[in-house]
Structures are given as C-alpha cells and as structure tokens.
Amino acid sequence: MRLDPQIRDFVLFPIVIIVFLVSVIRHYLFSIIPSQKPAVDKDTQREQQLLIRSNRICKNANMVSKSSLISRQPFFLEETNGELNQDSKQKPLAMSMMFDPSMMTNMMKGSMGNMIPQVVLGQLISYLFKGFLVVKLPFFLPARFKTMLQQGIGLSSLDSSFVSSLSWYFMVYFGLRGVIDLLFQAKDAIAHSYFSPIREQKRQTQVPRPAPVSASTPSLGNMGGTDKKDTLRNEKENWKMIDHFFEIQNSELELIGKPVNKEKVVKNQTANKTQIPKKNKSQNKNMKSTTPKNRKRNAKKKK
Amino acid sequence: MNKNLETLQNKPNNWKAARDLLREYREKQARNSYEIIKYGLPLINKKSQKLSKEELFEVMEQVFLAGLDVNIEESKTLLLKLQKQFPKSLRVTKLSGLLEEAMGNWKSAITIYKSILKNNPSDQIARKRLVCVSKAQGDVVLTIKNLNNYLSHFQGDTETWEELLEIYLTQQCYSKALYCCEELILAEPNNYQHHYKIANIYYTIGKRTDLIKARQYYAHSIKLLKEQNLKSYYGLYLTANKLKSLYSKNLDQSETQINEQLLQFAADKIKNVYLKLEDNDTKKTVLDFFEKNK
Amino acid sequence: MSQFHLSNSTHIQLLLHATKYFSEPITGLLLGPKIKNISSTSTIQITSCVPLFHSNAFTLSSNVDLALTLVSTFCESNDLSIIGVYHSSSDNNSQDLPSPIKKIGETINKMTKTSVVLIIDDQKLKKGKEQIAFKAYCYRSKWINVKVSSLSQKNFQQGIEELSSEENEKDVLVIEEEEEKVQEQGKNKNSKFLKNCQFQIGDHEALVEKFKKFLSEEKFRQIVDFEEHLQNPELDFLTQNIN
C-alpha cells in the first residue's frame, strides 16, 4: 500500500509545520510575559530545605560512617524536639494559591499555556483533516485503540495501525518537543553569571520526593489542612528504611584487588536497620532518680 | 593552556575569542579577574555592537565583578551604566552592595543588604553577602554564628556548608569541620573533591581509626577519578606510610598486608606519572624520594 | 646571634605569589644555603622560596607533611635548607599569626634549629604608599616579633628613604642580635620585638621599581605553586625561573 502524495503534501507536512510554528510562537510569547516569582513563605522554605537535607542523608547514608549518621539522628528524630516530629508550618497550598495574583500568572502560563493550544489545535486538525487515513503505524495495536486513533472513520474491520490525522498530530507534537528544546537551547548559549535568576533557580534544589506513604494516610498534595501537618512526620519513613553499611571501606580493597566486604560479614558492623534513638539518658527521668539526692526524694514520695 | 586564551595572546583583538573566553569563565564561575578585565573591557567599550543585548549586560556585570578585585574605578563607571539601564533592579542593587564591600564601606553595604532583605525576605544572595561582610571584617566568631544561622534556615545549601568548613579549618576545629564535610559528601556523593577533603581532615586528626578512615576515603576518591588525581595518590601513600611507622604494632597481620599493598600501589602509580614527564627539578626530587624510601 | 637576610629576588617572588592569588590565603617555604654549625653569630640567608598553597590547605597536615617532605628531599640534594615559612591571609584577619602557621614554623624549627615566619600584610601594599609589607617572627620558645628593616632605613616604621651609599652588600644588610634574655624586653622601648634582632630585606626603592615592572609584564603568571603542580604535574614548583 502506498501513501498518496497528495496526503503527504497537504496533510502530513502542514501538520508538522503548524505544530512547529505554534510552539515557536508560544515560546516567544512566554518570554515576553514576565513570570512572577512566587512569594515564598519563610517557614515553608525552611521546611523544604529540611526535607531536602533529610532526603539526601537517607539516600547517601552509606557514604559516611555509622557514628556520623547516628550523630545526625537526634536533630531529626528525637521524640520531642526532633525536626521531623514537629507539625508542618506550611500553609495549605490550594487556598492561598488561588487568590494570590502573582501565582495566577505563573499558573496560567504553566498549565493553561500548554493545555489550551494543544486542545484547540487538536480540535482544529481533527475538523480540517477529517475522514481519511493518514499513516500506518509500524507496530501492531490492539483493537481498543481504534476508537481513539481512527476518529471519524467508521470501518470496524480496518486494521488499527492505520490512524487518522489527529493521531499524527499527537505524534508530531510530542516528537517536536525535543527538537524545539534543542533549538532554543542553542540560542540560550550565553552562560549566566552567579547573580542571574536562571542560576538562582538552578541553585535552589527542587522540592524532594516525599517519603512513600502507607495506604491509610491520605495522599499528599490535597487541599486539606490536616495533611500538611504531617509532611515532616512522613519523612521519618525514609529514616526507618536506612540499612547502613559503610561502603567506603570497600574502595581500598577494590584498588588492590582484594575481595570486598559484604554487608553482613563485617565485624563490628550491625546489620540492623537504623534505630530511632530513645530519649537521652540525661533527659530520662528514671535515671535522674538514682542520684543520691533524688533517691531520698523518691523514697519520700513512695511513702 | 586554554584555547581561547592562547588565541587572545597571539591576536589580542579577536573579539570572538574574548567573548568565548568570558562565556567559559561565566560558566565555570571562575575568578580570573586580570584576564576578564584585560579582554572584557575592550569588548564592552569597542565591540559592544557585536554582542546581543542580553549578553552585553552579562559581560558588563562580569567585568564589574572583576574590577572589584583589580580596578575599582572601572567598576564604578560600569555600575553607573547598569543603574541607568536598570533603575529599579534588585540584581543591580546587589551589585552596588558589592561595590561598597570592595571599597571597605561596611556600614553602607550592610544597609543595602538589609533593605533588600526587608522587601525580599527569602533572598539568599543578600543573606550570604551579610555573612561575607562579617568575614571580611575579620570577625570570625560573628561569621561562624551568621553561617550557622543561615544554615538553620537553608540546610540544603551546599555552598554554605563549604564556607563553614573552611572557617572551621582555619580555626582548627577539626571535628566540626568533619561534620560539614560529611554534609558535602551526603549532598554530592560522587564528587571526588569532597572525599579528598574529608580524607585530609581525618589524616590531620591523626589517630589510628582516623588514619584508616583517611586511607579509605583517599581510595574512594581515587576510585571516583583514576587519572589526574595525583593528590589523592599522594594522600594514600602518606597515610599508609604513617600507619606503618606509627601504628604497625596495633595492626593485625591482614591489616598490615592491606596497608603494605596500598602503599606499594600508590608509590607505583605516582612514579609512573612522573616517569612520563620531562626532566625537571620536581621530577628528580620525587623520584629521589621514592628511591630512598623503598 | 642569628641574622636573617632576604634576597631581593626572593622578596619579589613572594610578592608575585601574593599578587597572583590576591583573593586567597597563600603559604610557602623559604629556603637558603645550608649552614653546618648554627651558632649565635651565623648569618642566615634566604635565597629562594617555594610557593606552596593558595587555599586553606595549610591547615591540613596531609598537605603540609607532603610539601615539607618533598622540599626537604630537594634541599638535601641541592645543599639547601628550609629556613622558614611565609604566609598571607586574604582578609583583615584579627590574628596576625594563624596557629597552623605556627605549627609549620615549629616543625621547621625541629628540623633546622632555626626558623622564621614572614607574614605578608597586604594592607601595606597599597598603591602610592608602598611600605615594607612584612612582619617577621622568630621562635625562642614562643613566637616573638622581629624587626624588619631594609638597607636604606634605620627605623623600620618610616617610609621609603634614599639609597644609602654602602656598596659592599647592596642586596643585603645585616644587623646583629644579642642573645639577651627575653625578660629584658620589658625594659626596652620597643619591647614587643626581639632585642636587636632584625630581619633585613634589600634596597626597598629599587625593589618596588622592579616589582612594578614585573607587574606590568604580568610575570606573576609564571609563578607555580605546589597546588598547581598537583593539578598539573608537568609544572615545576621547586624552582621559580623569574628574572
């Protein structure tokens, strides 16, 4: 089966050109409309950074000695004062976001800017190029995809790898994204200094992936205020999962070709998972009472 | 030597090479102030039309920063130009703060940064510059306090942990420096420089367990970067040597053997590096040293 | 009685090292010809320097041990010895003599029985007001400040003066040090300095002229220190060839 040159010239190429032009126009439009920096709440920022650090420690715990890891635990995990046992002070996102004008521009640009042209174009293309097949996909697809990919064509017996113009549009759209990024990256080859906002954004590391949460707790990112309180507590899961083994000790053995130490066969290494420390002895009331002064007092109390 | 630098030394008027050199310096955030002023100033003054507007101002900022080190009068003129172009810009205000710092006017610098923070409380650069002012004034205690304060809010900021590490080292607080270096490793575990630094600190503390850890970290640094890492090989050699001379009685047989093998490995590798070089005083000295200490 | 001379070429090399790394703390060693029997009347000359670090590497004993080992091997084969250490911190430090530098100086003292520490104070190198930029310290059970003066000066606190007419040792001048007890310093006017010990540098005015010339020729790029050598082993840090 061959492709009609008319389809090729008047459908395939035009769709490619349209998608390309729309992406270029959108890129320039976005660079003209200035994006506002969202006003970051101090507490939120602090907690985000806390989570970033906690995440990093849990991820790379094997790079430092066990004592270093243990010395960091009280800061995070100590029962009353540990950071991860505090209520999160982050304000619930949804409410403040919707009414904050500076965030509006950002939101508009982000989601709408991508969604609207895509939907509009998709509708336009399926209207303009209605009713005929355009390409044959080189791989086999089950019949379910027919309704999606063969819009406007009523043949139920047709092989579902023959698709309509709408699906060609989607393929071009996703395919050209990479090409357009490269194109505009080349134009932005000017390196940026320490003070430029682009570098500042790169320096502020991204918000960490929240710890895996069990099914019982409600999912994060919801609009409720109660869930936000536990953002920090949920991070504790990461700490429980640390199975510390000081990997560095193997590097020197590798250099001289000796067999490396494996996890459980090393002397003086506990293969147990990290224990969340209980309160320090000095804070433990029971211990205090064994000093002579307190013994007398306790003896009196008992009476 | 740098390709662009070579071109410029032969043809000082080659504006393309100057532009590329400055781009390289911006990318690496290098502080080669002499070169930046030497090649950047003519670029701004004579060939400004060859650069795009965006790049021109980036270059102006870069030359301004270089001028703070080398030629402060130029910096003053550049700042005036930038202020004219961007009258209410936060970025230019920060640069004016830097100029005050460079001239030693600590009070006016602090005023500028504090006013920035009033309107933009989450601005990291202004906060960091306040720390720099206290460091430049020589007030070590205040600087450490400010750094710790900054870190209590911005725990993930690697640059600040490095700064704190350096200050603790100058004050010889090695255990605290160790803590900071561990933070760097936890943040960037594949960066061989951090492993090399922490190995140095363990070596400096110098007890038996510390020397063993130092040796392990040097080995890890070598594992991350096998070539062009001469300093880690030297470190490995020194640590193994020190363990051998000071603690040989406290090591059991297998440990002694490992130590000896690491010593030999490091010595061989270092010798191989030098044998490939041309003869000079350093090569001769190093090879002499290894001859005597076989 | 020990007398310290600092040759002009070494002086310039120190300043060039400081110029090359203006934003960092620099450290290096001072070398001079070996003296077989150090007596109280011996003259200790400093004829060359070995720049070592341009970072806080001087605080870490691994770097220092390595540098000292290599430089002492070099000295043995060239009949030199390590006389002292020089240092300049990058900011207005409240401490004049950082403790890691003291430690280096003490290690050198153990090796060679005499050591001097030179601290370069870059505040004194401001354009138009070129003063002697050194503070020198000697070790007599603790580190004591030593007067620094140049050929054409009698009082080191004065500025640049005219050339004196002494032609014998244009480069170097020597003033004797008496081995007085340290307690007697209290009676002396200049009590914070070791009595009658002076650290001599060469003709200051000529030195400043030469240094300015080198600056304009950008000779400081030719300085290679130990850290650079570790990055690029082809570079030779033990002998600086700057004329």
CB B235 within 8 A of CB B201: no
pLDDT tens digits, one per residue of C11-40? 889 889 988 988 889 999 999 998 777 666
Which chain B residue lies closest to A52 (C-alpha atoms)? Answer: B156
Please list, in sequence order, all residues whose beta carbon lies within 8 angstroms of the beta carbon of residue A38, skipping any fewer than 6 positions away: A100, A102, A103, A106
Which chain C residue lies closest to B201 (C-alpha atoms)? Answer: C60
Contact residues, C window 197-216, toward B, CB-based 8 Å cutoff: none
Q: How far is CA A54 from CA A223, B132, C146, in A?
A: 25, 27, 52
Which chains form contacts with chain C, at 3 or more CB pairs under 8 Å? B
Q: A98 at the B interface (CB within 8 A)?
A: no
Q: Using 50, 70 and 90 to split pLDDT, how confident is the model at A46?
A: confident
Nearest C-alpha neighbor of B293 from the set B244, B254, B229: B244
Highest mean pLDDT out of A1-5, A29-33, A44-48, A226-230: A44-48
- Best of B194, B204, B241 to substitute, by most chain C Cβ atoms within 10 angstroms, is B204
Return the higher-pLDDT residue of C181 and A93.
A93
Total number of domains in chain B: 2
Among the ranges given (A94-103, B228-237, C21-30), the one the predictor scored with the smallest mean pLDDT: A94-103
**Does chain C reach chain B with at least 3 CB pairs under 8 Å?**
yes
**B178 contacts in A (CB within 8 Å)?**
68
Q: C114 at the B interface (CB within 8 A)?
A: no
> Does the distance separating the beta carbons of C230 and B230 come in below 8 Å?
yes
> Does the distance separating the beta carbons of C234 and B234 come in below 8 Å?
no
Mind telling me how many Å the CA of A55 is from chain B's nearest CA?
Answer: 10
Mean pLDDT of C87-105: 79
Which chain A residue lies closest to B93 (C-alpha atoms)? Answer: A195
Mind telling me how many Å the CA of C198 is from chain B's nearest CA?
Answer: 29
Answer yes or no: is B161 within a domain.
no
> Does the distance separating the beta carbons of B169 and C62 come in below 8 Å?
no
Query: Which secondary structure element, helix H or strand E, spans residue B282, and what is its range?
Result: helix B281-292
Q: For residues A123 and A112, give the distance between their C-alpha atoms in angstroms, rounded to a whole number.
A: 16
Phi, psi for residue A160 in degrees, rounded to 5: -80, 5
Q: A211: exposed, middle or buried (C-beta count within 10 Å: 0-12, 13-18, 19+)? A: buried
**CATH number for the domain running over C3-231:** 3.40.140.10
Q: Report the SS3 class of residue C113.
A: coil
Query: Which secondary structure element, helix H or strand E, spans residue C117, and what is its range?
Result: strand C116-120
Long-range contacts of B274-278 (CB under 8 A, 24+ apart): B274/C233, B277/C233, B277/C234, B278/C234
Mean pLDDT of C104-125: 81
Q: Does pLDDT of A94 surpass 90?
A: no
Please list, in sequence order, all residues whose beta carbon lies within 8 angstroms of the beta carbon of residue B293, skipping any fewer than 6 positions away: B241
**pLDDT score at B252:** 86
Q: How many CA atoms lie within 13 A of C233 on its CB side?
A: 21
Query: Quick one: tokens of B17?
Result: 């090479």
Q: Does pLDDT of A189 surpass 60?
A: yes
Answer yes or no: is B287 within a domain.
yes
Residue where a domain terminates, one of B86, B108, B129? B86
Q: A63 at the B interface (CB within 8 A)?
A: yes
Please list, in sequence order, all residues whose beta carbon lies within 8 angstroms of the beta carbon of residue A284, skipping any fewer than 6 positions away: A278
Answer yes or no: is B221 within a domain.
yes
Q: Partners of C199 in the beta sheet?
A: C4, C148
Q: Report the SS3 class of residue A152.
A: coil
pLDDT tens digits, one per residue of B113-122? 999 999 888 8
**pLDDT score at C218:** 84
CB A37 within 8 A of CB A102: yes
CB B127 within 8 A of CB B148: no
Answer yes or no: is B184 within a domain.
no
Mind telling me how many Å the CA of C191 is from chain B's nearest CA?
Answer: 26
Answer yes or no: is B283 within a domain.
yes
**A195 contacts in B (CB within 8 Å)?**
61, 91, 94-95, 125
Q: C141 at the B interface (CB within 8 A)?
A: no
Answer yes or no: is B176 within a domain.
no
Among the ranges given (A222-236, B14-28, C6-20, C83-97), the one the predictor scored with the smallest mean pLDDT: A222-236
Q: Looking at this predicted complex, what is its ipTM?
A: 0.89
Query: Quick one: tokens of B112?
Result: 């500028």
Residue where a domain terminates, one of B62, B86, B110? B86
Query: Quick one: tokens of B230?
Result: 């001469």
Residue B31, domain extent: 1-86
Handedness of CA C10, C12, C15, C19 (dihedral sign): negative
Answer yes or no: is B76 within a domain.
yes
**B288 contacts in C (CB within 8 Å)?**
73, 77
Which chains form contacts with chain A, at 3 or more CB pairs under 8 Å? B
CB B279 within 8 A of CB B253: no
**pLDDT score at C183:** 33
Number of residues that this document lists for chain C = 243
Mind telling me how many Å the CA of B281 is from chain A's nearest CA?
Answer: 30
